[in-house]
Amino acid sequence: MGTGAQEPDNPDVQGKGAVGSLGRELGGDLPCVVCGYNLRGLSILAACPECGTAVRGTILAVVDPLARELAPIRNRWAVAAGLLLWTGFGLVAVLACWWPHVFDYLYGSARPTARRGMVIEANVVAVVCVVLSAIGATMLLNPHKGIGSGARLAGLIGVLAYFPVAWLVFRTGGGGEEELRIFLGADYVESVPRAVGLRVVVAGFVVGIVLALRPTVRVLVARSLALRSGRVDRQTLLAMALASAVAGSGYAVWLAAMSGDGHVGEVAWLVGLVLVGLGSALFTLGLAGSLLDSLRIARAIMAPSPTLNEVIEGRSGREQNVSAGAGGAGGGAAGGRL
Residues of the chain with pLDDT under 50: 1-26, 63-69, 174-190, 226-227, 229-233, 307-338
The CA–CA distances, whole Å, from 329 to 56, 65, 226, 335, 336 equal: 17, 11, 20, 10, 11
Residue 80 is part of which domain span? Answer: 74-302
Helix (H, G, I), strand (E, B) or coil at 31: strand
The CA–CA distances, whole Å, from 333 to 60, 256, 316 equal: 11, 64, 18
Q: Are residues 28 and 97 in the same domain?
A: no
The pLDDT, as a whole number, for residue 11 is: 45
The pLDDT, as a whole number, for residue 303 is: 62
The pLDDT, as a whole number, for residue 139 is: 86
Q: How far is CA 66 from the centre of its chain?
A: 25
Q: Which of 62, 63, 69 is nearest to 310 (CA)?
A: 62
The pLDDT, as a whole number, for residue 21 is: 44
* φ and ψ of 31, to 5 deg: -70, 140
Q: Which of 279, 236, 239, 109 is nearest to 181 (CA)?
A: 109
The pLDDT, as a whole number, for residue 61 is: 56
pTM listed for this prediction: 0.64
Domain assignment present for 60: no
Q: Are residues 117 and 8 in the same domain?
A: no
Torsion of CA 68, 295, 139, 209, to 10 degrees: 90
Domain assignment present for 61: no
Question: Exposed e or buried b for every residue in 94-125, given b needs 16+ CB within 10 A?
Answer: bbbbebbbebbeeeeeeeeeebeebbeebbeb
Domain assignment present for 274: yes
The pLDDT, as a whole number, for residue 19 is: 39
pLDDT for 123-138, tens place per residue?
889 999 999 999 999 9
Q: Are residues 211 and 287 in the same domain?
A: yes
Domain assignment present for 210: yes
Q: Are residues 2 and 133 in the same domain?
A: no
Q: Are residues 256 and 197 in the same domain?
A: yes
Q: What residue spans of 141-180 are helical by DSSP H?
A: 149-160, 162-174, 176-179
Given phi > 0 = left and psi -120 to 50 = alpha, else beta, which region is 305? Answer: beta
Q: Are residues 250 and 139 in the same domain?
A: yes
Q: Are residues 41 and 88 in the same domain?
A: no
Q: Are residues 37 and 114 in the same domain?
A: no
The pLDDT, as a whole number, for residue 29 is: 67
Domain assignment present for 88: yes
Domain assignment present for 310: no
Burial degree of 74 (CB within 10 A; 0-12, 13-18, 19+): exposed
CB-CB contact of 198 with 171 (8 Å): yes
Helix (H, G, I), strand (E, B) or coil at 43: strand
pLDDT for 238-255, tens place per residue?
899 999 999 999 989 888
Q: Are residues 129 and 219 in the same domain?
A: yes
Q: Are residues 166 and 94 in the same domain?
A: yes
Q: Are residues 140 and 2 in the same domain?
A: no
The pLDDT, as a whole number, for residue 123 is: 83
What lies within 8 Å, CB to CB, of 91 at 6+ separation is 284, 287, 288, 290, 291
Domain assignment present for 37: yes
Domain count, the chain: 2
Domain assignment present for 58: no
Q: What residue spans of 258-317 are helical by DSSP H?
A: 266-302, 308-313
Q: Are residues 141 and 209 in the same domain?
A: yes
